[in-house]
Structure 1
């Protein structure tokens, strides 16, 4: 999903802000409103402010682009959630049987579920509706179809997680490059 579509352009308080851990590790992206709350409560500091100000009737607040938390947030290594969107993204919106790109892709179980195939990264691929119907409830070998590449669980790199924002928010690059 494009960065500009994740946050509505109708309200400036929904603009994306990069949140860094105290050790400058990129954590996530939050809204401008959430970033202002974190800064005002003393939980974060502003590192980049090239967007101007947010004016209210009684106060003026800076519009940060990048904030850093004042404390380290410990969390387990990231894993991507198993969703249709992430499977299509991993397979680059291409049918893994015929190689055709299409906006109308489906998700196919390589080994059908009724035969013991699980709902896992290693058993799900993107498929066009025609190939999915052709394969049916068979394995690829039984249907005489081959996969372009074996399915795998993608590694959530910084470019994978934040790459869609880098075209629009160039000032984030220096904080994302070292990771």
Structure 2
């Protein structure tokens, strides 16, 4: 079971295991605001509600320069699994400026691409092929990208994630 951790200002910070959440609650560093009623955690001296969402008692400053690491899965997710050239279903990624010409593995140079377009394009740039990109590749943003673990969000978290959007 996973628990959503909210900052003192109610912005989502992370998703942690319920064990880590219980430790934060027991040490009075967080309070439970959404619980799972049917399955308490039993200790030697008391029973604790199993937390679904907790809020920290003190505000934690989050560094502003948090960059999302570039991954194949992330590029496909950012581009909604659609080819940047033809718009069909994408299963591969493509370097807009090929690596052989100095293209980097960056959010600005990688796009989702279908296998057919990737094979046709090969080691050329879209300009050389007279192709245009259907989207401008840029780093992802939003709470779904900045809060680790919210890709498989629990339905109980939706009101709290919507506050930060």
What residue in structure 2 maps to residue 71 of structure 1? 58
* Matched residue count: 159
Return the match for 1:158 from 137, 143, 146: 143
Q: TM-score, normalised by structure 2?
A: 0.84
TM alignment of 1:35-46, pairs within 5 A: 35-46=21-32
1:96 and 2:98 equivalent?
A: no
Please list the CA deviations of residues 12-39 of structure 1 after superposition, one character each: whole Å capped at 9, or x if unmatched.
xxx1211011222210111112111211
TM alignment of 1:16-165, pairs within 5 A: 16-56=2-42, 58=44, 59-77=46-64, 78-102=66-90, 105-155=91-141, 157-158=142-143, 162=150, 164-165=152-153
Native 8 Å contact 1:66 1:172 kept in 2 = yes
In the aligned structure 2, how far is the partner of 1:178 from the partner of 1:80?
Answer: 21
> Residue 144 and residue 48 in structure 1: after superposition, are their counterparts in 2 closer, same or farther (change >3 A)?
same
Backbone CA RMSD of aligned residues: 2.1
* 1:108 CA displacement: 0.7
Q: TM-score, normalised by structure 1?
A: 0.78
In the aligned structure 2, how far is the partner of 1:85 from the partner of 1:51?
Answer: 35
* 1:178 CA displacement: 2.6
* 1:57 CA displacement: 7.4
Please list the CA deviations of residues 99-138 of structure 1 after superposition, one character each: whole Å capped at 9, or x if unmatched.
1114xx1111000122122221111001112211111111
Runs of at least 5 residues in structure 1 that lack an aligned partner in the other structure: 1-14
Native 8 Å contact 1:107 1:127 kept in 2 = yes
Native 8 Å contact 1:96 1:127 kept in 2 = yes
Higher relative contact order (CA 8 A, sep 6+): 2
In the aligned structure 2, how far is the partner of 1:150 from the partner of 1:55?
Answer: 49
